[in-house]
Structure 1
């Protein structure tokens, strides 16, 4: 009986096999054993490679990071617990009190909040400039600017940043260019192709692609910056779940197919919305009437992505009618799912901004952001015809 009890509380080694699994194994272990203290020292000093404690890294995160690295054309990226964990790790890993950050006027709502409210509490100065105006943005990069944060295509109004001017100005000023590549993804452009010193993603979105994980990714070109970001993520506990990493890796297997189908659907939807009577404005970088179309065509090489933004008149009342009539269009504050989702920035991602602040960047009560999925296009267009009919 004693031997049986001892066996039950000891871990059973994996059965030996001359074959290997096709699927990536899921490894949820929190801790990893070492042969002796010398072996643990060798691991922590980088003489050997491996894992010790899951907050500091685990196999599923490493596998996922290597795949996104390949997509971005880099090495050494890390996976963290969410997209905002990636933004936070960069800011707190690379900044100190007295530093200055210049952000694009159009960023994800929580990134705006981090810059407006949290960083100033830590003694970090923040400012904003229009990334579509390269000259004005360059002029806003002062000698004290440590980080420049932009999205290539902005959330949610899909404006396209003048990346060449911004990258050149940041380099001349000695500032680090941080690119949030969530909206565009490496399917449209890679961070290194626009001069990014740091590139980050909300893996939660189109990379994972199924609305069932919460993860982020960040890569810095400079090894010292990579270490600072990694140390911050580890110290702050911005740890990714092994199961989420496993799911996200599985999602990446179909990324190219999903990206191509969703992008084609988005182009068709944008054209259809432009012809719909209740719609007063459509924003899609692939359309000739987009204010930054020429720049998008040159920068993205025809890969305009799966996001469409449109606006209707009638304020919140009309917005409510549209959503209630959109029975086949999930209304949710997210993007990148296999199914098309509809979101309302004024009541979700950008709700922390005042009405005037939202209006200044082109967001009104009738503004909707569409994350286009991979449904049959005829189904998608019919669903929007029904929803717009209620308006």
Structure 2
């Protein structure tokens, strides 16, 4: 089954739901038993509902996995992966320039609980072998990273990690299953903040995880049920609805982002553009090999590297709204220093190159002429 067909038909059989074309919203906390001791597929909504099951099966199909799991947010999904794969005394090695919320979870929650947390620049796969220790149990990757859009070679890093008995998890939020499938590249776990492109309409908060290994799936399922960080049926329904147009939206996101990146690359107010689709991106060839297209996010350094300059541009924009998230149909601008990475220490941001005069654009699916005109007037 091709990807576009999977988005429409995977994970749902209308014959099992009174022939409803769309998955019904099972707005119930519990299901009735006919007798004591009866084992039901769905008994209590924390454990599962038909709406959530349809989403989990659909998502697993998109990532070419065997098991899918839905959570109340992307952070809840990351937390479940960490809890399912790590014990006190274990170590997680994470790519250095990762999402600020993941950094906070690792350093402020996992580290105090006895997990050793280390970060490394993994753009050169050869560096991984030296970075691993006997305690390393999980390698946490993003590609492209948030917000500087660096890429790592998932297949090469996974091969090295597996030789050392280390599992690999990939946050695939920026790429989406339409552009990249980490499990096909050898990774053990793929995670998404479905709040972003999968939902696609800025109206849902949800996280997703997919795996191929049955034992790993059993561990994640246990954490999902035991900790209860699950989404409600309405959020599952909205995400399923969003997924049905994922392939169409991603084509437009990519079309528009390529035009925006090219425009900004020659603008006198811009010092540097970060976008894997540009030929001067340091991992451009890796992006061409590892991804199907280059995504919908563009990050820039302003020549005036000040918060005031970034604020002035953001406030003048009309179609790019200043907001925390990304991946919706509308264009957004994010000041990473104070927003997505606001909780990261200043010295860490400086080391990674996250600057005051930096803006991250989530390029929506509006008419490209309007978006380019908006950027031109805001940067004038």
TM-score w.r.t. the length of structure 1 is 0.90
Please, which of 55, 63, 67 is the counterpart of residue 58 of structure 2? Answer: 67
Q: Distance in 2 between matches of 1:287 and 1:153?
A: 14
Partner of 1:224: 215
Partner of 2:38: 39
CA contact (8 A) 1:141 1:169 kept: no
Please, which of 304, 308, 326 is the counterpart of residue 335 of structure 1? Answer: 326
* Superposition map of 1:3-22 within 5 A: 20-22=19-21
User: Deviation at 1:319?
Assistant: 0.8
Kindly indicate whether residue 229 of structure 2 is the aligned counterpart of residue 238 of structure 1.
Answer: yes
Q: Distance in 1 between matches of 2:319 and 2:295?
A: 22
User: Deviation at 1:120?
Assistant: 1.2
Please, which of 287, 290, 301 is the counterpart of residue 311 of structure 1? Answer: 301
Please, which of 176, 187, 194 is the counterpart of residue 178 of structure 2? Answer: 187
User: Deviation at 1:284?
Assistant: 0.7
CA offsets per residue over residues 265-306 of structure 1, 9 Å max, x none? 0000000001111000001101101111111111114x1111
CA contact (8 A) 2:154 2:182 kept: no
Please, which of 161, 177, 202 is the counterpart of residue 168 of structure 2? Answer: 177
User: Which protein has the larger Cα radius of gyration, Structure 1 or Structure 2?
Assistant: 1
User: Deviation at 1:327?
Assistant: 2.3
Say which SS state the counterpart of residue 54 (structure 1) adopts. Answer: coil
* Superposition map of 1:353-368 within 5 A: 353-368=344-359
Q: Distance in 1 between matches of 2:224 and 2:230?
A: 7
CA offsets per residue over residues 72-124 of structure 1, 9 Å max, x none? 01122111111111100011122111111000001111111111221111111
Q: Distance in 1 between matches of 2:119 and 2:218?
A: 28
* Superposition map of 1:251-330 within 5 A: 251-301=242-292, 303-314=293-304, 315-330=306-321
Q: Distance in 2 between matches of 1:130 and 1:29?
A: 46
Q: Distance in 1 between matches of 2:110 and 2:21?
A: 45
Say which SS state the counterpart of residue 149 (structure 1) adopts. Answer: strand
Say which SS state the counterpart of residue 169 (structure 1) adopts. Answer: helix
Say which SS state the counterpart of residue 34 (structure 1) adopts. Answer: coil
Partner of 1:105: 96
Please, which of 118, 139, 143 is the counterpart of residue 127 of structure 1? Answer: 118
Q: Distance in 2 between matches of 1:108 and 1:65?
A: 24
CA offsets per residue over residues 131-170 of structure 1, 9 Å max, x none? 2121122321112111000012101100011223211111
Please, which of 158, 162, 169 is the counterpart of residue 167 of structure 1? Answer: 158
Structure 1 gaps of 5+ residues are: 1-17, 44-49
Q: Distance in 2 between matches of 1:111 and 1:181?
A: 13
CA offsets per residue over residues 213-258 of structure 1, 9 Å max, x none? 0011112322122111111121111011100000111111111100
CA contact (8 A) 1:138 1:165 kept: no
Structure 2 gaps of 5+ residues are: 1-16
TM-score w.r.t. the length of structure 2 is 0.93
Deviates more, 1:26-35 or 1:218-227: 218-227
Deviates more, 1:335-344 or 1:324-333: 324-333
Query: RMSD in angstroms over aligned alpha carbons?
Result: 1.3
CA offsets per residue over residues 286-345 of structure 1, 9 Å max, x none? 1101111111111114x1111111110321110111111112211001001001110011
Q: Distance in 2 between matches of 1:177 and 1:365?
A: 32
Say which SS state the counterpart of residue 46 (structure 2) adopts. Answer: helix
* Superposition map of 1:130-149 within 5 A: 130-149=121-140
Which 4+ stretches in 1 moved above 4 angstroms?
none
Partner of 2:375: 384
